[in-house]
Amino acid sequence: MSAKVLRFLSVGRCLTRRHGFAINCRRFMATDVHSDESSDDWDPKDGRYEEPLIHLYDTHIPTTITQKVLLSLGSGIASITDPYRHDMVAVFGETTGHLALEKLYDRMRNDSEGQQILEDKPRINSTTIDIERLGTLAETTFGRQYYNFLKNNRVTPDSRMAVKFVDDVRLAEVMQRYRETHDMVHALLGMPTNMLGEVVVKWVEAIQTDLPMCWLGGVFGATRLAPKQRKNYVNTCLPWALRCGHESKLLMNVYYEKRFEQNVDDLRRELNIPPIPSIS
C-alpha cells in the first residue's frame, strides 16, 4: 500500500477507486478547477457515502477523507525519503494539521499582535515587501538580517506554495502565514538552510505549533545529519531548540513586517529567545 501511495504522489499516476470513482492525484496538484463529479455522497437510507466538496478559496482543492488519508500517507513517506521535496512537505502539513491549526488560530486570536495578523491577513512576497530596501537598513536590524538570509541562501519569499488542501478559510490563512514566515524564523533564530539548521528550526516550530509536519521534520531530519553535525546537534543544538521552543514567545504571533527596523538582538530578548549556538 505504501509503495503505491508513494508512486501516486511521485508521478501522479496511482488511482484510488471508491464506488467506481477514480481519482488522479496529478489533477489535485495541478488545477483549481473542480466539478460536481468529484463528490462522494452518503445517503443514510441506503448507506451510501455522501461528502459534498465545497470550494472555499481561490487555491482550495476540496478532498474527501479518503483522498486526504492517501495524500497524507504518500506525502509523509515522500517527505521522509527526501526532506527537500518541499511540495510533499507542504501537502503533508496541510492534510494532517487541522487540530494543530485550530489551536494555533486560538492562540493568535488571544494575543494582541497575533489578532492583528489575523485581521490584516498580510502576505509575504516580493510585491508586498521591498526586499532591496531591507538591504539598506543597519546591519543590526531584523530587516537587514532577513535580507542577508535571503541573499546568502539564494532564496526568495515568492517560492512559498499556496495552501490548497486545508478545508477552513481561517486555518488556511494560518497555514499560509506559517509557511511564508518560515524564512523569517530562520533569520530570527540565526539558522542556515543546511540540514542541521532546518532540523533545529523544525524542532522549535514543532514545540510551538504542534504541527505533525514539524515533528516529522525534527525527528526524521536528524537521521540525515552528517557525523560532525550529529555531535553538535545532540550536545548543543537540540537542547537549545527544546529550550527555545518552550520558553520563547509564540513566533507565529510576531508581526515581522512591522519589526524590520527593530534591533534584532532587542527583538530576540523581547521574545525570550536564548543565546544562539554556533551552527556548522
Return binding residues. 182-183, 186, 198
Residues annotated in a binding site for Zn(2+)? 182-183, 186, 198
Contact assessment for residue 204 and residue 245, using Cβ atoms and an 8 Å cutoff: yes
Q: Which three cell numbers stand for residue 261?
A: 527596523
Q: Alpha helices, DSSP H only, in 97-181?
A: 98-109, 112-120, 131-134, 142-152, 169-180
Written as one string, the DSSP assignment of 65-100 is HHHHHHHHHHHHHHHHH-TT-HHHHHHHHHHH-HHH
| Paired residues of 22 in beta bridges | 17
Separation between Cα atoms, residue 137 and residue 160, nearest integer Å:
25
Separation between Cα atoms, residue 263 and residue 252, nearest integer Å:
19
Nearest to 108 by CA among 171, 179, 186, 200: 171
Nearest to 85 by CA among 153, 9, 150, 155: 9
Rounded to 5 degrees, what angle do the CA atoms 44, 47, 53 make?
75
Separation between Cα atoms, residue 26 and residue 9, nearest integer Å:
8
